[in-house]
Amino acid sequence: MNFDRKMKLASMALLFLLTLPVPALVQAATYGHTGKASQVGRTIRITALDIRFDKIRLHVRAGETIRFIVTNKGQLTHEFIIGDAREQAEHEQEMQKKAGMDMPDEPNGITLKPGQTKTLIWTFGLEGDVEFACHVPGHYSAGMVGKIFVGANTK
Ligand SMILES: [Cu+2]
């Protein structure tokens, strides 16, 4: 193979690499990403109380898109944050630093004042254990957390 041909092949290979989709770094979490309303397969209603959620165990499938409708029926502000153990630990630390200031809503979490109802659409990622939790200081350690078991996608 002559040099020119090698160069041509190399540049073609490079062009091919450039056409590959770049993974979305912001939403690369294995526990999922924001879902689209058009892909919602199921709605799960969750009530936040002082100081717990009315559900503590949920079962979903890998890749399933769920519409969570969360209502705060407590007297206190509560959060509903979806994440793996690491994400929850990070959010817990952040909330301790902010000494209980309300966090703005994020792709994987919402803050609810007493009486508020909000919706969060989430597409689950890989099989594994995910949690939903509230990190208003003291709430997570008081048990305001539930497990989401993400099972195999059998569809
Ligand atoms: Cu709470």
Examine residue 74 and state whether it is found in any structural domain, yes or no.
yes
Examine residue 7 and state whether it is found in any structural domain, yes or no.
no
Quick one: which of 131, 144, 122 has its CA closest to 77? 144
If you measure from the C-alpha of residue 107 to the centroid of ligand 1, how many angstroms do you get, rounded to a whole number?
Answer: 18
Examine residue 25 and state whether it is found in any structural domain, yes or no.
no
If you measure from the C-alpha of residue 11 to the centroid of ligand 1, how many angstroms do you get, rounded to a whole number?
Answer: 55
Examine residue 22 and state whether it is found in any structural domain, yes or no.
no
- The structural domain count of the chain equals 1
Higher pLDDT, 151 or 23: 151
Rounded to 10 degrees, what is the CA torsion of 132, 121, 55, 141?
A: 20
Whole-number average pLDDT of the chain: 88
d(CA 3, CA 59): 58
If you measure from the C-alpha of residue 52 to the centroid of ligand 1, how many angstroms do you get, rounded to a whole number?
Answer: 7
Quick one: which of 132, 94, 145 has its CA closest to 102? 94
Domain around 132: 32-151
If you measure from the C-alpha of residue 62 to the centroid of ligand 1, how many angstroms do you get, rounded to a whole number?
Answer: 27
Residue 112 has pLDDT above 70, yes or no: yes
If you measure from the C-alpha of residue 118 to the centroid of ligand 1, how many angstroms do you get, rounded to a whole number?
Answer: 15
Span 46-71, mean pLDDT? 97
If you measure from the C-alpha of residue 74 to the centroid of ligand 1, how many angstroms do you get, rounded to a whole number?
Answer: 9
Residue 85 has pLDDT above 80, yes or no: yes
Examine residue 12 and state whether it is found in any structural domain, yes or no.
no
Examine residue 16 and state whether it is found in any structural domain, yes or no.
no
Examine residue 43 and state whether it is found in any structural domain, yes or no.
yes
Task: Supply the DSSP string of 62-90, one letter for each residue.
Answer: TT-EEEEEEEE-SSS-EEEEEE-HHHHHH
If you measure from the C-alpha of residue 148 to the centroid of ligand 1, how many angstroms do you get, rounded to a whole number?
Answer: 18
**pTM of the prediction?**
0.80
CATH number at residue 144: 2.60.40.420
d(CA 126, CA 72): 29
Examine residue 6 and state whether it is found in any structural domain, yes or no.
no
